[in-house]
Amino acid sequence: MMAVTDHSSANAGKIVISVDAMGGDKGPATVVAGISASAHKNPDIAFILHGPEEVLRPLVERRRGLRGRVDFCDAPDVVTMDDKPSHVMRHGKGTSMWSALESVREGKATVAVSCGNTGALMALSVIRLRKLPGVDRPAIAVLWPSSNPQGFNVMLDVGADIRADARDLLQYALMGASYARNGMDLKRPRVGLLNVGTEEHKGRPELKQAHELISRFAPRADFDFVGFVEGGDLPGNVVDVVVTDGFTGNVALKTGEGTANMIGAHLREAFKYSILSRFASLLALTSLRRLQKRIDPRRVNGGVFLGLNGTVVKSHGSADATGVSAAVKLAFQLAQSGFSEKLAARVASAAALAQDAEKNGGGPARDASDKGQATS
């Protein structure tokens, strides 16, 4: 483990976020600008910054709001976007990504944030933090802008694993509900299973099996299962959590981001078309800014790795300071809620329910109230 410059006395009582400052497309200056914006908004946050200290220290010292709130962990190597996860797992010990995860593993920080290579980050997260007991495949969950009162829906998986059988989808439903409950303060989230139609006879066999499993477990896990949902429900108000496999989820995510960027570009082009349209844009400036903020992918930047012994937030590799700040904000909110511990309890109780179901020959498990299950 690399040496950490210690400011622990100054940061006592603060929630510490471990940040991989390297690996993003825009470089460490953008990461430092993003954490500076977060520090300005929240006095209860502190950071461990991982990367070459000789590069990072001057960047931090230019930001008055970070004074005394950043510890440096000198890590000379960087995981690039082209590095294969298998190579990073064998040779990545000196990288900023490895170091950032190690701070969470050792309890020095509550959450890790990285803009780096997604595949490498997931692989390192699994080997350094380990999967929670009972979790077969971790998932990546993201927030999707929606017409719900909370403004967002949760969708998972969006790329941790392209495969998912019925049991995996059940675990995603349980983890997604816990994320919505703790990250969005929804007491009883509504969960839907993404399919090509809402009819129960549609879809692949594993989706039909997952439908049956989730229906059985929903009452005991304290969420409402609304059944199958379609792509049009992602930004709607029918559900709070959308469950799917990593292949489908990643395609949907990239499509949504691309569509939002296209709409923004077309609006800018339309309002530059003539003098009258430019005048109209001035009259509608407040409404346009509100719309831009609502559909701006940077403001919902941050995929959460679920199913690990620790919380990891994956920021977009191309994130600017606004995007990094959004990812850090999400990390802080999850840390503040005690999300890791609550998710672990939820997964453990789900595993117990699954064992009960198997003992009962696949029938409904005993009611969770008999086991003293806590809401998480």
Q: Write out the two tokens for 59.
A: 């960047």
Percent share of the chain, pLDDT over 70: 83
What are the pLDDT digits (tens) for 67-77? 889 999 999 99
Strand partners, 192: 227, 242
pLDDT band at residue 14 under the 50/70/90 scheme: confident
For 129, the enclosing helix (H) or strand (E) is helix 118-129
What are the pLDDT digits (tens) for 63-109? 988 988 999 999 999 998 888 989 899 988 999 999 999 999 999 99
pLDDT at site 75: 93
pLDDT band at residue 365 under the 50/70/90 scheme: very low
Task: Give one word for 54, left, alpha or beta, with left for phi > 0 and alpha for psi -120 to 50.
Answer: alpha
Q: Residue 17 above 50 pLDDT?
A: yes
pLDDT at site 368: 37
The whole-angstrom separation of Cα 179 and Cα 138 is 13
Torsion of CA 73, 77, 83, 88, to 10 degrees: -60
pLDDT at site 169: 92
The whole-angstrom separation of Cα 45 and Cα 69 is 8
What are the pLDDT digits (tens) for 243-294? 999 899 888 888 877 777 777 777 777 777 777 777 666 666 566 566 555 5
The whole-angstrom separation of Cα 321 and Cα 49 is 15
pLDDT at site 371: 37
The whole-angstrom separation of Cα 346 and Cα 25 is 36
What are the pLDDT digits (tens) for 162-180? 888 888 899 899 889 988 8
Q: Residue 361 above 70 pLDDT?
A: no
- What is each CA distance from 368 to 216, 346, 351, 372, 374, in whole angstroms? 12, 11, 12, 6, 9
Contact 112, 50 (CB under 8 A): no
pLDDT at site 103: 95
- Go through the domains of the chain in sequence order and give each one's CATH number: 1-130+308-337 (3.40.718.10), 132-246+299-307+338-376 (3.40.718.10)
316-320: long-range contacts, CB 8 A cutoff, minimum separation 24: 316/115, 317/23, 317/24, 317/25, 317/81, 317/115, 317/116, 317/117, 317/118, 318/24, 318/25, 318/26, 319/24, 319/26, 319/30, 319/34, 319/115, 320/26, 320/30, 320/34
Q: Is the peptide bond before 83 cis (omega within 30 degrees of 0)?
A: no
What are the pLDDT digits (tens) for 181-194? 877 888 899 999 99
pLDDT at site 240: 95
What are the pLDDT digits (tens) for 317-347? 888 898 899 899 889 988 888 888 877 877 7
Q: pLDDT: is 291 or 129 the higher one?
A: 129
Q: pLDDT: is 19 or 92 the higher one?
A: 19
